[in-house]
């Protein structure tokens, strides 16, 4: 097992390894305390993993309930959030009790938002079961729900008391689900770790690798979490360097919205990274090999790298992006693998960048 300590306003430990679900109760007892716990999960994950987590919590002395909602991004809405709050109240949780978010990114986000706001904040333990949630959404304290206007537009920063990533859970993912999580893996390497990027080029992180070498898979996950925890420690509230984690997200979130969330988040991030890198290369901000390598690595992990959506459609969807400030938007621009900058550009320039990234004119980017 690997452990990483996150130095946030509320410090906490991330546990990465195998056979950890049964230890969630003991970890929660040490990190969060409390008398009662509620597992929040979805209809896919609950039947697989709720029972051992519940048993472990009860053995650790918790009175434990389980709230299950329908799996999928469409459940990441106000109705689900309110239903969770009502369930917490019905179980008589107090501010010192624990919400256990058991599932992928949707579960972690909506359960985390409920924990952040129930009685103005109760304890939270994140138990991510997807690759995307393990390497990204479970760490850093971002919680949110979607609105009609766009993704993650209502939420709060709320750090967990602990994160428990049982790598064994990944074995039950469909190949497409596992691949979708690799979008954030490629992103972390592209913004912060050229050596990790090169290692992934040699040996992609795949389900096959998990089956052959679970220890190496766990180490790669730990390295990704290490990148994110360093950024979070430097800028917990996303006022500066943490914006680097948004590489590919402005265009990616727009693709998600236009596709009505039928395309996975990691896949959309891959599309967004390739597009903004192509635009950067077209304008001389990076060599042409940068978008080429990002696109090749994303493809090697089973990710789509292009969209049929047009620039005008994506631009209209991106106007609701949280990174917009008035008539400007903050974008992450790559300069080489492992090195990016945050640049504020006018929305008119952003529209042109989307067009360049989609290669609307059929021209190859120039360096």
| Dist. CA 140–CA 100, nearest whole Å | 16
Q: Which long-range contacts (CB under 8 A, 24 or more apart) does 358-361 make?
A: 358/275, 358/306, 358/307, 358/310, 358/311, 358/314, 359/278, 360/310, 360/311
Q: What letter would DSSP give residue 172?
A: G
| Dist. CA 67–CA 219, nearest whole Å | 32
Catalogue the active-site residues: 120, 142, 184, 228, 238, 242, 246, 249, 253, 265
Residue 171, number of CB atoms within 10 A of its CB: 12
DSSP string, 189-235: HHHH-HHHHHHHHHS---HHHHHH-HHHHHHHHHHHHHHHHHHHHH-
Phi first, then psi: give them for residue 69, nearest 5 degrees. Answer: -125, 165
DSSP string, 121-163: --EEEEEE-SHHIIIIITSS-EEEEEETTEEEEEEEE---SEE
Q: Label the pairing between strands 142-147 and 123-128.
A: unpaired
Of 150, 48, 58, give the one whose Cα is nearest residue 107: 48
DSSP-H helix ranges across the chain: 24-31, 46-59, 78-90, 105-117, 131-132, 175-192, 194-202, 207-212, 214-234, 249-258, 265-282, 289-300, 311-318, 347-358
| Dist. CA 361–CA 46, nearest whole Å | 48
Q: Label the pairing between strands 63-69 and 123-128.
A: unpaired
| Dist. CA 307–CA 322, nearest whole Å | 22
Give the orientation angle of helix 265-282 with respect to helix 289-300, to 10 degrees.
160
């Amino acid at each position: 097992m690997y452990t990483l300590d996150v130095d946030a306003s509320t410090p906490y430990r991330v546990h990465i390894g195998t056979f950890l679900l049964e230890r969630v109760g003991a970890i929660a007892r040490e990190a969060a305390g409390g008398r009662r716990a509620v597992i929040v999960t979805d209809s896919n994950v609950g039947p697989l993993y709720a029972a051992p987590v519940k048993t472990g919590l009860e053995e650790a002395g918790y009175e434990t309930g389980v709230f299950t909602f329908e799996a999928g991004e469409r459940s990441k809405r106000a109705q689900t959030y309110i239903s969770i709050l009502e369930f917490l109240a019905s179980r008589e949780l107090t501010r010192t009790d624990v919400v256990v978010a058991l599932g992928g990114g949707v579960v972690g986000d909506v359960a985390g938002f409920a924990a952040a706001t129930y009685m103005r904040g109760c304890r939270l333990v994140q138990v991510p079961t997807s690759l995307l949630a393990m390497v990204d959404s479970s760490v850093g304290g971002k919680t949110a729900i979607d609105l009609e206007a766009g993704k993650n537009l209502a939420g709060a920063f709320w750090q967990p008391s602990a994160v428990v990533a049982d790598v064994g859970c990944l074995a039950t993912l469909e190949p497409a689900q596992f691949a979708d999580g690799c979008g954030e893996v490629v992103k972390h390497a592209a913004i912060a770790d050229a050596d990790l990027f090169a290692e992934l080029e040699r040996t992609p992180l795949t389900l096959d690798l998990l089956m052959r070498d679970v220890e190496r898979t766990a180490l790669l996950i730990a390295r990704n979490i290490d990148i994110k925890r360093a950024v979070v420690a430097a800028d917990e509230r996303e006022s500066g360097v943490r914006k680097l984690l948004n590489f590919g997200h402005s265009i990616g979130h727009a693709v998600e919205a236009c596709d009505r969330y039928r395309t996975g988040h990691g896949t959309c991030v891959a599309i967004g990274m390739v597009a903004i890198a192509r635009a950067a290369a077209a304008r001389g901000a990076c060599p042409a090999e940068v978008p080429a390598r990002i696109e090749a690595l994303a493809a090697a992990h089973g990710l789509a790298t292009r969209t049929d959506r047009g620039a005008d459609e994506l631009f209209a969807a991106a106007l609701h992006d949280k990174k917009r400030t008035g008539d400007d938007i903050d974008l992450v621009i790559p300069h080489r693998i492992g090195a990016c900058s945050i640049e504020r550009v006018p929305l008119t320039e952003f529209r042109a960048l989307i067009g360049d990234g989609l290669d609307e004119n059929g021209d190859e980017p120039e360096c």
